[in-house]
Amino acid sequence: MTLEGVAAVEHAGRPEDAASQFGRLLAEHWPRAYRFAYRLCGDPDQAEELLQQAAEEAFRSFRRFQPGTRFDRWFLRIVYHTFVDAVRRTRRRSLFSLDQLPAGQLVAGSWSDPEAVVEAALDGPVQRALNALPPEYRSAVVLVDLLDYSYEEAAEVLRCPVGTVRSRLHRGRLALREWLKPYVDALRRGALE
């Protein structure tokens, strides 16, 4: 069976070879892994590239994956480390400036759903603010606030104590509070309801 085909194949309870099992697990957790990669990179093409590299690394290490443990946390850990390695190599981290925030541009397009308009308008500023966070803070915020992981689950992905997740998450949110201040204030005034 080809790796490409396993995503569409029903797991019928028969013994699987490693490649089939890997393909099935990757397909199962692909959307979540993409959201994680996208929010880490802030760009769809880079997110796909990151996932490709992480998938290659994971496939090479798959014999060390212990059945019964959570594949998503194991794979997201590889995604995160691949991302951090890439950041270190390319030194792509850019300094954040408040000038990059298109503050006040909350009204966009002529969509019929006001909620969707607000959400789409928030996406750019939120992503740019995330991009400005150091990777260790960004990953904690993305896991807990965007992927809805518990502190314990995030600690498992990031391979650090729960207290470290708590601290990184808090510092990340405090930084985002400053960078997203116009939106935070608008939300507190009820202007984004």
Partner 1 sequence: MRHPQDLLSAYVDGTLSAEEATRIAAHLAVCASCRGVVEDLLAVRVLLRRVPQPQPRPEALADTLRRLEEKASPALPTRRLLPALLAASVLALLLYLPWPFVPPGTERTAHLQHHARITLTHPLSDAVLNAFLAVPFPELFPEEPWDR
Q: Exposure string (b/e) for 60-88, b if CB count within 10 Å is 16 or more?
A: eebeebeeeeebbbbbbbbbbebbeebee
CA distance 19 to 25: 10
Stretches 2-10, 70-78, 100-108, 131-139: which one binds partner 1 (CB under 8 A)?
2-10
Q: How far is the CB of 72 from partner 1 (least distance, A)?
A: 15
Q: What DSSP state is assigned to residue 91?
A: T
Q: How far is the CB of 91 from partner 1 (least distance, A)?
A: 25
Position among 21, 30, 86, 117 found at the interface with partner 1 (CB under 8 A): 30
Choose among 71, 86, 76: nearest CA to 41: 86
Name residues whose C-beta falls within 8 Å of residue 192's C-beta, 6 or more positions apart in sequence: 106, 118, 183, 186
Residue type, 35: R
CA distance 4 to 9: 10
**Number of residues binding to partner 1, judged by CB under 8 A:** 50
- For partner 1, the closer CB: 38 or 74: 38
Binding mask 109-148 for partner 1 (x = CB under 8 A): -------x-xxx-xx--xx-------------x--xxx--
Stretches 68-76, 91-99, 131-139, 162-170: which one binds partner 1 (CB under 8 A)?
162-170
Q: How far is the CB of 90 from partner 1 (least distance, A)?
A: 21
- For partner 1, the closer CB: 98 or 174: 174
Q: Verify binding: residue 173, partner 1, rule CB under 8 A.
A: yes
* DSSP H or E segment with residue 34: helix 18-41
Q: How far is the CB of 158 from partner 1 (least distance, A)?
A: 16
Q: Exposure string (b/e) for 23-40, b if CB count within 10 Å is 16 or more?
A: bbbbeebeeebbebbbbb
Binding mask 58-97 for partner 1 (x = CB under 8 A): -x--------------------------------------
